[in-house]
Amino acid sequence: MKKISIIYGTCTDHTKEAAELIASKLSQFNPELHNVADCGAEQFEQSDFLILGTSTWGCGDLQDDWGDMLDKLSGANLTGKQVALFGLGDSSGFSDTFVDGMGELYHFFSDKGCNIVGHVPTDGYSFDESTAVVNDEFIGLPLDMDNEEDQTEERVESWVSELKPLL
């Protein structure tokens, strides 16, 4: 069985709650759950499958703890790792930078040679722009716990069902 790590950065615990929900849906795979603030590069290097989550702050900024981690990972060899991303944002108040933090993670891990999986169609989301959209799809699971919390469970369930065959 693949070693799965769910690593998240959070300021308000919404991303932690989403990570815990994802972990519960993948419980048969025994994923390890980590706050990125408490991680080192080894959690990334020793895992076969990474599920990475971040919130987006201000006008498209990556959650603070992720900035520190990306610096630590600059010399890590992550080539060929499978990575699935999830991001939290405010599609109403910040519709022009919706889940841009997830877009930053995408570019960093793509540049490190990782295989990004778990793309999500943009249908059903209301937003104006996002760096997390590539080829007309989100590069991971976008969640809006501020305005669309009632859709979170269904969106996570659908996304996780797409990931399970890869595990």
The total of structural domains in the chain comes to 1
pLDDT mean over 120-132: 95
**Each residue of 141-157: pLDDT tens digit?**
999 998 999 999 999 99
Q: Distance of CA 152 to CAs 19, 82, 148, Å?
A: 12, 23, 7
Give the model's pLDDT for residue 133: 97
- How confident is the model at residue 29, as a pLDDT? 96
pLDDT at 120: 98
Q: What angle do CA 78, 82, 87 make, to 5 degrees?
A: 100
Cβ atoms 44, 80 nearer than 8 A: no
Q: Which domain holds residue 74?
A: 4-166
CATH of the domain at 56: 3.40.50.360
Confidence of residue 109 (pLDDT cuts 50, 70, 90): very high
pTM of the prediction? 0.96
Tell me the average pLDDT across 69-78.
94
Residues in the chain: 167
**pLDDT exceeds 90 at position 58:** no
Q: Report which DSSP code applies to 21.
A: H
Q: What's the rounded mean pLDDT across residues 59-69?
A: 89
Does the pLDDT of residue 1 top 80, yes or no? Answer: no
Confidence at 25, pLDDT banded by 50, 70, 90 = very high
